[in-house]
Amino acid sequence: MRDNGYRTSWFGKNHNTPAFQASPTGPFDQWPIGMGFEYFYGFMGGDTNQWQPDNLARNTRYIIRSRATRNTT
């Protein structure tokens, strides 16, 4: 699509990334950025509360992280 002048982005729910790959340290190949999208702003997991997401991400960085995705160190 880029060859034709289009930009690609993914907004909202991402339930395609396996839970074991949704960590802030990656791997990121199954995140939208790793699947060819230039920009991602949304939340990981199909069961996330869409009105109060606790795992909101921009590209590959969490903006809001749940306890499950926070570093413990």
What confidence tens digit (pLDDT) does each residue in 17-27 have?
Answer: 998 898 889 89
Encode pLDDT of 7-59 as tens digits: 999 999 999 999 889 888 989 999 999 999 999 999 988 888 888 888 899 99
Prediction pTM value: 0.79
Tell me which long-range contacts 4-11 makes (C-beta under 8 A, separation of at least 24).
7/38, 7/39, 8/36, 8/37, 8/38, 8/39, 9/37, 9/38, 9/39, 9/40, 9/41, 10/37, 10/39, 10/40, 10/41, 10/42, 11/40, 11/41, 11/42
